[in-house]
Structure 1
Amino acid sequence: MPVVTDRPDTRRVREPGTPPRPLVVLASIVLAAGTGAAIWLLPSRAQGEWAALGERAGSGATPSETPSVPAAEPSPPPAVVRPSGFVAFVDAVREPRFNLSREARRSHVRWFTLGHLTAGQKGCVPKWGGLQEQGGNPVANRLAPLRAAGGDAGLAFGGPAGRELAAVCPDLARLTAAYRRAIGAFTATYIDFEVHDPAGGATVLRRARAIAALQREAADEGRSLTVSFTLPVTGAGLSRADQEMLRATRAAGAEIAAVNLLAPVDTALGTGSRLRPIASAVRAAHPQIARSLGESAAWHRIALTPVLAGPGDLTRLEARRLVAFTSRNHLAWLSTRGAPLSPGITRFLTGATR
């Protein structure tokens, strides 16, 4: 007598069109073996891709669902730190008691230029005035309080006395190292070259290559190095030698941020017309500077520095006209040399050129 149970019969009737189970198992084994052999025969790069796909599949994510890693964005260019507004020049050798931070509080000057670093007796060693050790100048050693108050100062190489370093240091590596030490000692972001005699093509090229190398180093370290040239200007503009020096310096890869024009005030003229020759000189120099720097217009690369014989050479009215000329032509900055300005005129120039 058969035993009756509630379990269904495990041997199900195969539906029409369905292959036998043993055949399905055998086909699966053959397919797996074939796939493994195909992967083994693929190049190593393809295997890596397949392995990656397998890892993603094992994690439960499809290739389209796998988040892609965004490409690293390029680092932003270093911030350009350069003079602007009114820049006060300080003869750090003749005025050792000059207090930068105190003057900044008194006159509201933010930018200073400290001069002059020229070649010492050893040639490739810059010294203040060619005599004073680089780290022994009390004015330059007072930079920290000025910077803490939001101001800054650049270094001026060359000048009316002594020789600029490139003219007496014939080795490019030593010249570059000398500039680098001075820049590093004072953490300078701005340097100026006051050149009164280009001194020949070899000197110009050596200086230009050193500047270009220092600017590349600064960019690699995420900082900027602003470079200007201070040159005398006349009614005819710049001398041909100075124009060629600017062109050759640019061609060597150095970036010249500005050309600072030294324009003497003609004291023989009346107070109402003393600035006219200066304006004419700047206008004459503009196309020359533009051509030398490879630009169609270069007003923004011109800085203006009237040279005063006495403190009365710039009246309040003339200061207003000077500021108007600077602003109208979008000059890079304004400065003065020679005789000191009265405190009132300095404060006016600082406030009007911000």
Structure 2
Amino acid sequence: MSVATDHSAARRPREPGTPPRAMVVLAAAALVTGTGLAVWLLPATSDGWTGTGRTPHAGGKPPRLTRTTAGLPPEPAPPPPAAVHPSGFVAFVDTVRDPLFNLPRAARQEHVRWFTLGHLTAGQDGCTPVWGGLRGQGGNPVATVLGRLRAAGGDAGLAFGGRTGSEPAVTCADLGRLTAAYRQVVAAFGVTYLDFEVEGADGDETVLRRAGAIRALQREAAGEGRPLTVSFTLPVNDAGLTLRDQAMLRSTREAGVEIAAVNLLAPIRRSSTGRTDLHYVASAVRAAHSQLAQAMGEATAWHRIALTAVLSGSRDLTVADARRLTAFTTRNGLAWLSTRGAAPAPDAARLLAALTR
């Protein structure tokens, strides 16, 4: 017998204690009406479920309790990971000439994130790096506040060589001692970036000894899961890099060193009318690009070029010049931009620093 035609159940006598059927129908109607009213009164959103295509208790599990659903303010977002290599605008600090330079204050007031501190050169024993050939590693008040700089979101790399003394690879003939000297500096300051400013004509033995020490440090760093970015700072002229510097870069790369960037030192010149001649800088960088690409064994090497404008006076770089330099850096995808020598005028310096943000 089908359900549609079975009326026998409705005609059975009501058992004791069972409410009349009319009362049951009225109660069910009241329940439906009350539930509909409650749903209508709910807010339009419900802890992020509305609009996401999900419903509460989907899959039979209650929603995860979060600070938001519990009525508490959300946790602050974690800070972004610190960069491990320079980018944007990098301020160079001559810590020998300016031992009282305040890194954290400069980072805060000038909005500069990355600095390069120079220069570490060979001490009296020919191997131990000291600051400018004068101060021991712990006697540099600028470098001793790197922890405060990093706490403020900045960082700094260390530069070996320069004009104030000999880069340790030149005077330290023992590869093991040279490697240990570099390693001690990395560990003492916790740096992730080293620069080597090569002055003069290094012999083949010096080039290969330096390359062997750097390669060992980079392999150690990779094995420990930490970065070690290495760059070389070299002078550039309207013909680009010298043949010897090109050969040095090629030999260093072939020896297994990962060269992240080559920092080109380009002097700012003035034309016969007294205006800054930036065409010279652009021509020098373009000439160096093809040479660097060949030395690195790459089709293009713009991302491996950093540019440092060397100023003889603060008036060498106007606001318009600073704008052109930053545009050139961005347009060609250079690794970073920096200045040396005289400090730029405040307005120009602000434009340069804006490249960091």
Normalised by the length of structure 2, the TM-score is 0.76
- What is the aligned counterpart of 2:141 among 122, 138, 141? 138
For residues 237 and 161 of structure 1, the distance between their equivalents in structure 2, rounded to whole angstroms, comes to 24
Return 5+ residue gaps in structure 1 as ranges: 1-77
The answer to whether 1:207 aligns with 2:210 is yes
Opposite residue 281 of structure 1, the aligned amino acid is A
Aligned equivalents of 2:179, 2:197: Cα separation in 1: 17
Contact persistence 1:209–1:252 (CA under 8 A): yes
Tell me the percent identity: 67
User: Which of 169, 179, 183 is the equivalent residue of 1:180?
Assistant: 183
What is aligned with 1:73? none
Alignment pair present for 1:256 and 2:259 = yes
The equivalent of 1:41 in structure 2 is: none
- Deviations along 1:108-139, one digit per CA (max 9) or x if unpaired, are 00000000000111100100001110111000
**Which residue, out of 288, 313, 331, partners 2:334?**
331
| 8 Å contact from structure 1 (residues 246, 293) kept in 2 | yes
> What does 1:1-354 correspond to in 2, within 5 Å?
81-270=84-273, 272-354=275-357
**SS class of match (1:153):** strand
Query: How far apart, CA to CA, are the structure 2 residues paired with 1:271 and 1:351?
Result: 27
- The one-letter amino acid of 1:202's match is E
CA offset digits 1:301-326 (Å, max 9, x no partner): 00000100001110000000001111
* 8 Å contact kept, 2:82–2:153: no
1:212 and 1:199 map into 2 onto residues whose CA distance is 18
2:345 and 2:125 map into 1 onto residues whose CA distance is 39
Contact 2:310 2:339 in 1 (8 A): yes
Q: TM-score, normalised by structure 1?
A: 0.76
Matches of 2:296 and 2:324, distance apart in 1: 28
> Cα deviations across residues 154-178 of structure 1 (Å, max 9, x unaligned)?
0000002211100000000000000
Kindly tell me the number of residue pairs found equivalent between the two proteins. Answer: 277
Segments of 5+ residues of structure 2 without an aligned counterpart are 1-80
Per the TM alignment, residue 266 of structure 1 is displaced from its structure 2 partner at its CA by: 1.0
Deviations 1:271-298 (A, max 9, x none): 6551110000000000100011111000
Query: Cα distance, 1:79 vs. partner?
Result: 9.2
1:80: Cα distance to partner? 7.0
Given that 1:123 and 1:165 are in contact with CA atoms closer than 8 Å, whether structure 2 keeps it comes out as: yes
Q: CA deviation at 1:197?
A: 1.8
